[in-house]
Amino acid sequence: MALSEFEIIDRYFRSRAPRRRDVIVGIGDDGAVLSVPEGQHLVVSMDTLVCDVHFPASAPARAVGHKALAVNLSDLAAMGAEPAWATLALTLPEADEAWLRGFAEGFFALAESFEVDLVGGDTTRGPLSVTVQVHGFVPPGGAMCRRGARPGDGIFVTGTLGDAALALWLLQKRRRGGVRERAYLLSRLHTPLPRVSVGLALREYASAAIDLSDGLIGDLGHVCRSSGVGASLWVDKLPRSDAFAALADEEEGYRLALVGGDDYELCLTVPPEHQSALKQAAGSLDCRLTRIGIVERESALRCLHDDGTELRIRGGAWQHFRRESDG
Ligand code: ADP
Ligand code: MG
């Protein structure tokens, strides 16, 4: 029997939402009432996943639920914010209970691991699309923004690059690969883990930060434009997972690591005087942190090999609404 909008909300979302003490009124009223801790600033971010644009219709519902929240928490991580609340706008073609169950499982497993409460949303019928808004806190002046990079700052990334893009490439080309490597890469594509604790631990050292959703070149380009600087990237230093090294060929490997999207790692710029403290702080985190370049005065973004030769990459970062004529 088809569920109504209210049955969907009650069964899959209202019943599952745990209660933080700062949620005064949660799901079930015309609006949520939330208590922002005294002396903190509120950071808000929103991202939409559209079926067949951001995930294939065949993607496991659990992965869609996970990823819809993960990409948002990744934005909070990039701001150095501590996550607190989420709202969810869900547009569904039909009330498919198996899909809803999987979606809610993925969403709440991640929400609970970050102590995030779902406090409201909207449920409508239409082509499958998921919008999540997240809310978090930073101390005043504590947020990492895109505009703070200065010439001479080191450029650092968390984790490894290109895994999600390689997974997508393997899926699209129907290429095989080792079973373990493939499973690892697919987990990086479907269930990225937002680097929230890294953002919190390193925010005091960074001059600027961004999370890598659209590819390193494109996203670092945003930091450069906002900051009025350029950058040199050391392409032979880009961190790669073992699975990536095993399955990507050399030239494709550079391209995937530089312009492949969906990594949800953090890219930070750090002034020289903070770099030893940064490394020390990073040592106590369960996360690789790699220096991959330097911020330059001149506004270009260059990709350099260790021997000083320049690497040129076909195709830029992923963009919606890009016209063919843009090249
Ligand atoms: P209204 O018509 O007043 O906008 P709704 O009927 O859309 O209210 O929603 C009823 C309650 O359920 C509200 O508190 C709303 O925030 C919540 N809600 C609706 N859809 C979702 C969802 N997908 N996830 C979480 N909460 C939801
Ligand atoms: Mg409504």
Residue 37 sits in a domain of what CATH number?
3.30.1330.10
Q: Quote the mean pLDDT of the chain.
A: 94
179/237 same-domain check: yes
User: Considering its fold, how many domains does the chain have in total?
Assistant: 2
CB-ligand 1 contact for 192 (6 Å cutoff): no
Output the pLDDT for position 198: 97
Please write the tens of the pLDDT for every residue from 62-77.
999 999 999 999 999 9
162/287 same-domain check: yes
**Which percentage of the chain shows pLDDT scores above 70?**
95
The answer to whether residue 326 scores a pLDDT higher than 60 is no
CB-ligand 1 contact for 123 (6 Å cutoff): yes
Of 169-178, 228-237, 281-290, the least confident: 169-178
pTM recorded for the entire structure: 0.94
Nearest CA to 203 out of 138, 298, 135 is that of 138
15/133 same-domain check: yes
Beta carbons within 8 Å of 208's beta carbon, 6+ residues apart: 144, 145, 146, 147, 148, 149, 153, 223, 226, 227, 268, 269
* CATH assignment of the domain containing 238: 3.90.650.10
CB-ligand 1 contact for 27 (6 Å cutoff): yes
Give the closest residue (by CA) to ligand 1 atom 7.
122
The answer to whether residue 1 scores a pLDDT higher than 70 is no
Number of Cβ within 10 Å of residue 39's Cβ equals: 8
Residue 291 · residue 154 · CB < 8 Å: yes
Domain ranges, residue 30: 5-138
| Residue in this structure with the two tokens 């900051």, named with its chain if needed | 227
Output the pLDDT for position 327: 41
CB-ligand 1 contact for 86 (6 Å cutoff): no
Of 15-19, 64-68, 298-302, the least confident: 15-19
97/185 same-domain check: no
